[in-house]
Structure formats: C-alpha cells, structure tokens
Amino acid sequence: MEGKKVEQYYSPPPKLGKWEGFRIFLWNSETGQFLGRTGASWAKILLFYVLFYAVLCGFFAAMLAVFYQTLDPKQPKWQLNSSLIGTNPGLGFRPMPPESNVESTLIWYKASDEGNFLHWTKELDAFLEEYQKGGTSANGAEQRVHCDYDKPAPPGKVCDVDMTDWGHCTKEHKYGYNKSAPCIFLKLNKIFGWKPNYYNDTKNLPEGMPTDLQDHIKKEENAQRHRLNTVWVSCAGENPADVENMGAIQYIPRRGFPGYYFPFTNTPGYLSPLVAVFFERPKHGVLINIECKAWAHNIIHDRFERRGSVHFELMVD
Ligand SMILES: *[C@@H]1O[C@H](CO)[C@@H](O)[C@H](O)[C@H]1NC(C)=O
Ligand SMILES: *[C@@H]1O[C@H](CO)[C@@H](O)[C@H](O)[C@H]1NC(C)=O
Ligand SMILES: *[C@@H]1O[C@H](CO)[C@@H](O)[C@H](O)[C@H]1NC(C)=O
C-alpha cells in the first residue's frame, strides 16, 4: 500500500541539458543552493572543519610538547651501547668522490691538469674550512685552546686542531695534488661520550697490528710515555702489489688521534682530530687499493659494516 503512495508522488527529475544541469548545480535559484548546498549548510560544514582542524592541531602540538619534554637539545637521549650507532666508531676519509657517484671510493686525478684535480682540492677546502684560523664566533672558534697530552681542554673549551705546520697537506700547497703526492685526510666519526681505550701498553699489542705501527708505538713510549694515549692509525696497500705501488707514506701531524680530543660531548666549537696521510710517491697510472684502520681496544674492525676501518682506491695519472 505504502509503496504505491510513494509512487504517486514520485516524479522523475526534469530532463536537463548538460550545461543547464551544471548551471543549476552552481546556483540553484529555486532552493537557494550554491554548489549543491545552501548558505547555512556551507556555514555549518565550514564551522565543523575549522573546529576539527583546530582540535587536531592542538592535539599534535600537545603531543609534540610531551615528546620534547623527553629530549635534551645538548645531548642524545640514547648514548653509547644503548644507542643504535653503538660504541664502535667508523673511520672516514676526505676528499670524497663526486656526489654523482656516491658508492665510489676512488680518488682519481691527473696531476698535470689543473682543472682535473680542482674537484679534490675544492672538496678539501670546504671540508677544512672550519679548521682555518680566524673562524667566527658562530662556530665556537673562540672556545678552542691549544692542548697537549698533559694539558687537556678546561671545561667548556675544546682542543684546537692546528694545521699550520702540516707541510704539503695544507691549502697553500694544494694538499699535494698538483705534485702527484696527494694527502688524504682521515677522521674518526664522532660518537657522543665515547672514550677510547688506548693501546698504551707496549706489552699488550694485538697480533693483527702491523709491525711498523707496533715499532712506532714502542718508539713513542721511549720518547714520551703519555703520548701513548692515542688512537693509532695504520694505512696499507691491500695486496702485495698495492703495497709496492703505494710507496712511502707519512702521517701528519702524527700517527693517530690524540686522546685529549675525546670524549666528544657536543661542546660548541669542537673539531674532530684529523690525520693527513701523505702519499709521497704513489705509482702513476695504476689503481691502488688502500685500507686504513684506527686502533684502540674498543674499536673493532669490520670492513663490511665500515667500522674502525676505511677502504679507498687511489689512482694518479
Ligand atoms: C653498556 O655499558 C655499560 C658501561 O658503560 C655497561 O655496564 C653495560 O653492561 C653495557 N651494556 C651492554 C648491553 O653492553
Ligand atoms: C703546486 O702548487 C703550489 C702552490 O700553488 C706551488 O707552490 C707548486 O710549485 C706547485 N707545484 C707544481 C709541480 O706545479
Ligand atoms: C692507558 O689508557 C687507559 C685508558 O684506555 C688509561 O686509563 C690509562 O691511564 C692509560 N695508561 C697510561 C700509563 O697513561
């Protein structure tokens, strides 16, 4: 019965042309609807969304505030062995190959061609910018003091890295790149609060340590005992041929990262210590595989995880 009644009142919508239908959808003068809604309906829906987003923003801000309560801007929340980066620092080298080739670890240049090695010297200029004297207060340069093994930095200060007497490995000498005797800089990655556990006992050096490094450590012991508190560095060709092609190297200013630069605690102006590896006479025109390692009891070498050691190739044409 009811169904029939409804049918009686039902009339199909008037047939309209496409354009006419759209015009009525835009503004229906009969019902006062604009885009299918009346003014009051639009106002309600607008009010709803304003309130909805206001509450959403408020909720987000409140949660963010709660989250920030748990953080300290000066130090990481998870440190050392409770953090994901852990306690085993990686070793890095500079200059880095061009960005277009992120996977590459090849340093390849023509010493005779100025434009060719410019990439590498520019890259080093940029990397060493903050190490230059006369930095601005913005990067905390005035916090840097001269340190020595028996003279660590006072609280709130950091140790300077003085590159003035680094011989060929300075900007003035183009880091040796125009003489086909390049310098490659090594840097230990910063880990907040990490303290090295030095190989400072010559009777307790690991078997895998290269003998030239062992000899060096023994020599240092005879010279000045406290200099043993150093994270030692060794670089070597990976295969016998590489060893031969690499030739002699020098570590500038010394063969390791002095202990007074550790731990890194995010003090403004902190500079990572650097070791410049100066290749005196690498053989021309061959690819030389080189591996450098940092040595401390608490640095474990893992080539695949890139911890404690670094691999790169050098090719001088
Ligand atoms: C983390 O280091 C602390 C001391 O530095 C040590 O007591 C603790 O056992 C270490 N935890 C793990 C999981 O190694
Ligand atoms: C390399 O550059 C330095 C500094 O510009 C210059 O003193 C030196 O003579 C150059 N060496 C060669 C071989 O061009
Ligand atoms: C050797 O290094 C450890 C830390 O790794 C340090 O506690 C100790 O004092 C150092 N020994 C000397 C003689 O400096």
Give 6 or 96, the one with higher predicted confidence.
Answer: 96
Mutate to test the pocket of ligand 3, among 87, 148, 150, 198 (most ligand atoms within 8 A of CB): 198
Cα(317) to centroid(ligand 2), Å: 17
Mutate to test the pocket of ligand 2, among 174, 177, 180 (most ligand atoms within 8 A of CB): 174
Cα(227) to centroid(ligand 2), Å: 34
How are the residues of the chain apportioned to helix, strand and coil, as percentages rounded to the nearest 5?
35, 20, 40
Nearest CA to ligand 2 atom 7: 173
Cα(221) to centroid(ligand 1), Å: 31
- pLDDT of residue 66 exceeding 90, the answer is yes
Cα(230) to centroid(ligand 1), Å: 23
Report the amino acid identity of residue 180: S
> In percent, how much of the chain has pLDDT > 90?
57
> Across residues 235-241, what is the average pLDDT?
95
Return phi, psi of residue 243, to 5°: -60, -45
pLDDT of residue 293: 95
Nearest CA to ligand 2 atom 6: 173
Q: Which residues have CB under 6 Å of ligand 3? A: 197-198, 200, 226, 229
pTM: 0.81
Give 188 or 9, the one with higher predicted confidence.
Answer: 188
pLDDT of residue 136: 56
Q: Mention every residue, 6+ apart, whose C-beta is less than 8 A from residue 278.
A: 167, 168, 169, 176, 181, 182, 183, 249, 250, 251, 252
Cα(186) to centroid(ligand 1), Å: 28
Q: What is the pLDDT of residues 89-112, one digit of tens each?
A: 999 999 988 888 778 899 999 888
Ligand nearest to the CA of 88: 1
Nearest CA to ligand 3 atom 7: 197
pLDDT of residue 56: 97
CA proximity to 124, closest of 287, 276, 315, 293: 276
Ligand nearest to the CA of 230: 3
Cα(177) to centroid(ligand 2), Å: 9
Give 18 or 50, the one with higher predicted confidence.
Answer: 50
Cα(231) to centroid(ligand 1), Å: 21
> Across residues 181-194, what is the average pLDDT?
94
Q: Cβ distance 271 to 144 under 8 Å? A: yes
What's the order of all strands across the beta sheet hosting 183-188?
Answer: 91-94, 183-188, 274-279, 249-252
Nearest CA to ligand 3 atom 2: 198
- pLDDT of residue 226 exceeding 60, the answer is yes
Q: Round the average pLDDT of the chain to a whole number and report it.
A: 89
Nearest CA to ligand 2 atom 14: 178
Mutate to test the pocket of ligand 3, among 229, 257, 299 (most ligand atoms within 8 A of CB): 229
Q: Which of these ranges, 88-92, 134-138, 311-315, has the smallest mean pLDDT?
A: 134-138
Three-state DSSP state, 16: coil
> Across residues 57-78, what is the average pLDDT?
92
CA proximity to 253, closest of 290, 227, 288: 227
Q: What is the pLDDT of residues 255-298, one digit of tens each?
A: 999 999 999 999 988 999 999 999 999 999 999 999 999 999 99
Q: Which of these ranges, 108-117, 154-163, 251-260, has the smallest mean pLDDT?
A: 108-117
Cα(81) to centroid(ligand 1), Å: 6
In terms of Cβ atoms closer than 10 Å to its own Cβ (0-12, 13-18, 19+), residue 20 is exposed
C-alpha triplet 222, 165, 250: angle, nearest 5°: 55
pLDDT of residue 92: 93
Nearest CA to ligand 2 atom 2: 173
Largest interatomic CA distance in the chain: 114
4 — pLDDT class (breaks 50, 70, 90): low
Q: What is the pLDDT of residues 20-32, one digit of tens each?
A: 888 888 888 888 8
- pLDDT of residue 167 exceeding 60, the answer is yes
Ligand nearest to the CA of 113: 2
